[in-house]
Structures are given as C-alpha cells and as structure tokens.
Amino acid sequence: MRKKSELTIVERAILAVPGFEAVVKKLENQVVLRGQSMSTLQNYIRRIALFCLHFQKLPEEISEDEINEYLVALALDKNSPSRSSFKHMVYGLRYYYRLLGMNKKAIALPSLKKDNKLPVILNHQELKELFSAPQLLKQRIVLSLIYSAGLRGQEVINLKISDIDFLRMTIHIRQSKGKKDRIVPLAHSMMVGLRKYLKAENPHIWLFNGKEADGKYSVRGLSWVMRENLKKTSITKDVNLHSLRHSYATHLLEQGINIVTLKELLGHADITTTMLYLHVAQCPLIKPHSPLDTLYNYKKQNNE
C-alpha cells in the first residue's frame, strides 16, 4: 500500500470525501459520451478534488458565500504563477454543476473575461540557448520537437514511435483537439536527433515513455522540463511550454507561410485563432503597388 504522501490529489479526495469516487466516474462517463478531451477532464477533476479536500465535502454541499470566499483567496494567491489556477477552478466547478443540473450554481460563479494578451515569442538566439541547456538527450529532443512541429503538450505525450515516418519525413498527430488528425513535416535536423534518441533510450510504443500508468510521459513532466531548463538560460521572458508552439507559428509566418497553411499545420478549427499570430509576426512590409507592374517586370526579366 502506498503512503498518503504518494497518492495523487484525486486519490486523496476519493479517500477523504464520501461520494467523490462516484463523481469522478460520472465525469469520466460524460466526457466519453460527449467525445471531449480526456486531458481537459483530468484538469477539471484535479481542481474539483482540491476544492473538495479543502471543504471535506462535495461542491453541491457548499454554500455560495463559502465558494466565493474560496475563489477570492485563490485569485489573490501571490504564490500562484498566474490566474490559470483560478480560471480552471471556475471552469471545473461550472462543468460539475451543469452536469448535476445545478444551473443556478453554475451561473452564480464569476464570469471570466478572455485575456487579450499577445503570445510571448522566443527569438532564434533564445531558442538555441534553450535547446542547448538540457544535459539529458531526452529533454533536448522533446523541447526541440515541440518547437519543430508546433505541438501541444498533450500531442507530444500521445505520439507513438510509429507516428514518426522517417522515409516520408512526416509526423502523424492523431485525435488531437477537436478529435482531428493532422500530418506535419519532420525537420531534417529533428530526424537526426530522434534517431539518436531512439537508439540511446529504446522507448517502448510511446515516443516518450514516462511514469504514468499507461507508460506515457505527462504534460506536467514536460512543463517541469521546460521550467528547469529555462533556469539554466539567460532568458527573462515570461514563457512556458506552449510558448514553443507560439514561436513555431510566428516564425513560419515570418518565413512566408500563408495563414491558411499555418492553420492546418497548427490544427486550428477556426482561422481567427491562427490570425492572432499576425499581431506578433515581424513580416516585411510591402509597399502598395499594382499587380500589373509586377506582371510586366516578370515578363521583362524573362525576356532579357
């Protein structure tokens, strides 16, 4: 039997709060029936587990005043690296209450405005410094791969060895956000690094094996790798693991990739999501002109 300190937040809540195990099962069933992301569900369950452990009872047994006091404390917590903990707690509780048909409690939760912040981008020199920081080959490869293919954290841990096609130079990303597959190019330098990594580490099934029950790496593990290696660099920007995907998108735009192609590479459902990167990309300005001039210049060059 594992020690209490070795149990996950969810496992501790199941032991401490009567009825929480049934809640977890109900949430899991709903996600399967609705075809939603299991990673989103796990995040919600962890937040609800923390909430239940704090009060030692289920959310429906907690008064509105108690909930508001708890959320205010969470929002003002100086130890929290961002507002993400607060936001995910609100999202998790809202999902939970709606699942139970308690719409009044869901509506009573604070409304969250979308942050209109632009993504922070790492420049080429910063990326080189970051990728040279890890001492472990596996960490170097995983960070480089995320940038090289614009991957989400969940997509990285779901990659199987068979998803890398060295002959066609492609990476097959399966059933990602929105339950969509996509194929992205495999960089030549990434191919060299991956072959070296596979020979050295000899992973089984998953491209990156980890300590999860199913043998996968975890997104939390990836985030830790990013944080720890950032400490070894001179980078002072407020960046995280997802900043590598932001940098991929921005750099491709700056190198001439059109926005529609970029949308497909990123796996976005809506092009307006992709258009965010137009605000941060440093694309060369082209002086307004008539395409007729370009046409005749092209002919003149060909006739010379």
> What residues are labeled active site?
152, 177, 242, 245, 268, 277
Contact 242/272 with Cβ under 8 angstroms?
A: no
- CA–CA distances in Å: residue 139 to residues 99, 222, 224, 226: 39, 9, 10, 9
Residues 6+ positions from 215 with CB-CB distance below 8 Å: 204, 205, 206, 209
Structure letter (DSSP) for residue 293: H
Residues 6+ positions from 290 with CB-CB distance below 8 Å: none
Structure letter (DSSP) for residue 160: B
CA–CA distance, 249 with 245 (Å, rounded to integer): 6
Q: Which residue, among 133, 93, 136, 131, has the nearest Cα to 112 in the 3D structure?
A: 93
Contact 181/187 with Cβ under 8 angstroms?
A: no
